[in-house]
Amino acid sequence: MSTSTPQARRVLWSTALAAFALTASGCGDISTDGAKPAANSAPEAAIESAPLEGRPDIAEFCGEKEITVALADGFGGNAWRKIVKRQFEKEAAKCPNIKKTIYTNANSDPQKYASDINGLVAQGVDAIITFDDFGPAALPTLKKATKAGVVVVPYIANPGGTPGEDYSVFVAEDTDQVGKEWAGWAQSVLKDKGTVAMLGGTPGNPLSTAFLDGYKKNAPSSITLAQDDPLNTDWTVAGMQQAATGMLTRYPDTGLILTDFGAGIQSLARAYDAAGQGLVPVAATASTNEVGCAWDQLKKNHPSFELFSVEGTTNVSVVALRKAVAAAQGLKNTEASMVQLPVFIDTLNGKMPVCDPSLPADADMAADLTPAEMREIFSN
């Protein structure tokens, strides 16, 4: 599988989240063709969670010292990463004393990733936020940068290690909160009676399990879960259709589907078409522009289909930047490092999927950018 495809981001994200999944959760784009002590940084006493709304402005942390900040990508070649880069630059521009921003892209090469981080340290950057696509294998490089006095803030993809010792802090979405949102919507749809199935990603991956665990903690006992573990789709459209076909055979009474592969909904619909059945309601995350543009036709072909999705993962990077800037300035930023993402789609309650035909199919429409800013990214 090429890491140029958006589903590769999800797979890499899941791999890197393994350590976090075991400790904090209890824990792209997705293609439809086939995720410290820094010298002046103190460890956080506990992992807290809070919504994106109501968080502080970066202006509170700009400080007085002139600094250079960097975004280091393990892989930067899809729409999700391009959106993150634009949000990083937009947020950094709000601080007049951030005199320079640097971006590096390792193109899925772990050796280049280590070289990029080492190079940033040699250039004298003050803070690095990073999506570590290589998981714990990259931890020694991040520890080395931290030891050199650079503030290092990984986001979403957890490198393992110990926040506050090996790097400043880890910033990620709150998978329990996503599961809780799913559970509430499932209850409103099924009215405390019915069967739910979870379509996850690769076999045994911690991310899908974390989302499902969040659901289990909040779902009423009167709603049956088809099986205790997610059904595997490999986060590919072929895998989604195959998993859904098997699900319909084993659990024909499934009344609602959970999935962290929202971009695969059209493939899910094809499985229902092949079975001669109407698609049931779906609670998801990780949808894309393509899903929004397909909504009208999906609803026409499957009148019983409704969609609920919790979105906004690109916005997690902005929290990471604020944490990094504050630490580089020797200031305390107490905002929660776990991010509660908003409900972006809820067709039962008038929050309809977003479609912009001028943008790529895999664009994340929940990003905190204007339509003009989004188009600018993909016109270059």
> Does residue 317 sit in the same domain as residue 306?
no
CA nearest to 210, candidates 233, 167, 177: 177
In which domain, by residue range, is 292 found?
Answer: 175-310
Q: At residue 359, what are phi and psi to the nearest 5 degrees?
A: -105, 160
> Does residue 150 sit in the same domain as residue 15?
yes
* Span of 241-255, 307-321, 365-379 with lowest mean pLDDT: 365-379
Q: Give CA–CA dist 168/262, Å, rounded.
A: 32
Q: At residue 99, what are phi and psi to the nearest 5 degrees?
A: -80, -20
CATH of the domain at 186: 3.40.50.2300
Q: Is residue 166 part of a domain?
A: yes
Q: At residue 284, what are phi and psi to the nearest 5 degrees?
A: -140, 180
Q: Is residue 65 part of a domain?
A: yes
Supply 189's token pair: 């749809």
pLDDT at 21: 34
In the chain, DSSP finds a helix count (H) and a strand count (E) of 12, 13
pLDDT at 158: 86
Are the beta carbons of 65 and 99 closer than 8 angstroms? no
CA nearest to 29, candidates 289, 354, 336, 294: 289
Share of the chain above pLDDT 90, in %: 77
> Does residue 15 sit in the same domain as residue 163?
yes
> Does residue 90 sit in the same domain as residue 216?
no
> Does residue 31 sit in the same domain as residue 167?
yes
Q: Quick one: average pLDDT of 342-364?
A: 94
Q: Is residue 323 part of a domain?
A: yes
Q: Is residue 365 part of a domain?
A: no
> Does residue 191 sit in the same domain as residue 161?
no
- For the stretch 320-334, pLDDT in tens is 999 999 999 999 999
Q: Is residue 32 part of a domain?
A: yes
> Does residue 157 sit in the same domain as residue 33?
yes
- For the stretch 16-64, pLDDT in tens is 343 333 333 223 332 333 232 222 222 333 467 988 888 999 999 999 9
Of the pLDDT bands very low, low, confident and very high (cuts 50, 70, 90), residue 379 is confident
Q: Quick one: average pLDDT of 120-146?
A: 96
Residue 5 pLDDT more than 50? no
> Does residue 306 sit in the same domain as residue 317?
no
CA distances from 285 to 59, 119, 166, 200, 310 (A): 31, 35, 30, 11, 5
Residue 275 pLDDT more than 80? yes
Of the pLDDT bands very low, low, confident and very high (cuts 50, 70, 90), residue 133 is confident
Please tell me whether residue 124 adopts helix, strand or coil conformation: coil
- For the stretch 283-297, pLDDT in tens is 999 899 999 999 999
* Residue 149 CB-density burial (10 A; 0-12 exposed, 13-18 middle, 19+ buried): middle
Residue 253 pLDDT more than 90? yes
Of the pLDDT bands very low, low, confident and very high (cuts 50, 70, 90), residue 380 is confident
Q: What's the domain count of the chain?
A: 2
